[in-house]
Amino acid sequence: MTALEQYLIDTWRASQHGTPPPPPPGRDDLAALRSIRTAAQFEAAVSGAPATHPWRHALTRFVHRTRAC
């Protein structure tokens, strides 16, 4: 069963019971990723490491390497 099918079943069930419908699938995905990133930056700052995005350095190396070729 896909997430959309489960969502439709849960929405129908909520309407039958008079409860609020569940949030649609994927609605809070970006917020969850942002909170994970924020927690990682906080841990880095507390430990004394630079609190930058972990992929930024790798992406910068990749971009500069492809331009040089």
* pLDDT of res. 5: 94
Domain count along the chain: 1
* pLDDT of res. 58: 72
The CA distance from 47 to 40, in Å, is 11
Other CB atoms within a 10 A radius of the CB of residue 10 amount to 15
Predicted TM-score (pTM) of this structure: 0.48
Over residues 17-31, the pLDDT tens digits come to 999 999 998 888 888
* pLDDT of res. 45: 83
* pLDDT of res. 48: 85
The CA distance from 14 to 7, in Å, is 10
E strand or H helix at 34, and its extent?
A: helix 29-47
Q: Return the structure tokens found at 35.
A: 């909170």
> Which stretches of the chain drop beneath a pLDDT of 70?
53-54, 66-69
* pLDDT of res. 7: 94
Task: Give the domain range for residue 33.
Answer: 3-68
